[in-house]
Amino acid sequence: MKHIPSLVAEEGRQAIYPSLAGKRVVITGGGSGIGAGLVEAFAAQGSEVVFVDMLEKESAELVSRLAHSRIAPRFQRLDLTDLSAMEGFFRQLGSIDVLVNNAANDDRHKLEDVTPAYWDERMAVNLRHMLFAAKAVAPGMKARGGGAIINFSSIAWHLGLEGLLLYETAKAGIEGMTRALARELGPDNIRVTAVVPGNVKTARQSKWYTAEGEAELVARIGRQRGSRHSRECPTRPRAPATLLATRLVHAVGVMLKMNARIPQKHVRRRVRD
Ligand SMILES: NC(=O)c1ccc[n+]([C@@H]2O[C@H](COP(=O)([O-])OP(=O)(O)OC[C@H]3O[C@@H](n4cnc5c(N)ncnc54)[C@H](O)[C@@H]3O)[C@@H](O)[C@H]2O)c1
């Protein structure tokens, strides 16, 4: 199993977009998995990256590995379910250009496990912080003349996968929230988009990985999208961070399936290179 950041480095063919150089970027859940790939990809663009996470050891290792970057990424420990701590973090940081709402937690559960408290906890870790992070950064983005907010949804709810009732509920909510925020913030030149990843083999995902599960996933996607997609196994990590770093900050109000190509018509360039 390959780790996403090293995959990005190994590929070594990331396009460089001068408009991203020096941009102030915040990535939530940047300490591991896809988030760590995002940190690496934005750092490679010369962006000023600050990432938050609860994983101190992994995050410190990432910071030291990327210390040679044009602008070395910075890490702040933060529990995103603590809204007042999050508000304090953004207040102290000042205005930013790009917010990547990536952090989530896909612990498995069944309907009979769901209590009101568990509902609140799952929404807090998977949905609520995204809205409040967007709220915290919007005034600063307006003052800077615009910005980009990128929310991570999931293919899980599109496929109705098992054991993820509340995660899928939150992820469906993220796509609705993205449209509503795009409408609300668009007039201020703040572009809001959602990414809908397929199965990406992060270290955490290996906890649940089985060959049978992967085969079932591929078959379901095939049934939903037709034969072309059933031939294209969606489980290979294809450096999603690269896609984001190079394209998404220029898109507006769209849901992008991570395993699909990004249609050029959705890529609206507003920031001058
Ligand atoms: N990996 C996949 O197959 C897949 C598929 C579809 C969608 N996604 C989505 O992509 C995003 C990244 O997924 P991933 O697989 O890298 O996830 P992951 O679980 O590997 O990493 C999530 C990161 O968020 C951090 N985090 C979780 N709760 C936090 C909290 N309360 N405060 C601060 N940080 C917190 C974790 O410590 C971790 O570093 C998520 O939004 C996920 O739902 C992933």
The stretches in the chain having pLDDT less than 50 are 1-10, 227-238, 242, 245-246, 259-273
Q: Which domains does the chain have, with CATH numbers?
A: 17-206+241-255 (3.40.50.720)
Determine the 3-state secondary structure of 6 from DSSP: helix
Nearest CA to ligand 1 atom 10: 152
- Residue 266: the pLDDT is 40
202 within ligand 1 shell (Cβ under 6 A): yes
75 within ligand 1 shell (Cβ under 6 A): no
Q: Which atom of ligand 1 is nearest to the CA of 199?
A: 3
Stated pTM of the model = 0.85
- Residue 245: the pLDDT is 47
Q: Which atom of ligand 1 is nearest to the CA of 204?
A: 20
Distance 152 CA to ligand 1 centre (A): 9
Distance 33 CA to ligand 1 centre (A): 7
**β-sheet bridge partners, residue 50:** 26, 74
Nearest CA to ligand 1 atom 7: 154
- Residue 254: the pLDDT is 56
Q: Is 167 marked active-site?
A: yes
Cα(264)–Cα(156) distance, rounded to whole angstroms?
25
- 259 is written with which tokens? 């395993």
Asked if 200 contacts 34 with a C-beta cutoff of 8 angstroms, the reply is yes
Nearest CA to ligand 1 atom 20: 33
**β-sheet bridge partners, residue 152:** 195
- Residue 211: the pLDDT is 77
Distance 258 CA to ligand 1 centre (A): 15
**Total residue length of the chain:** 273
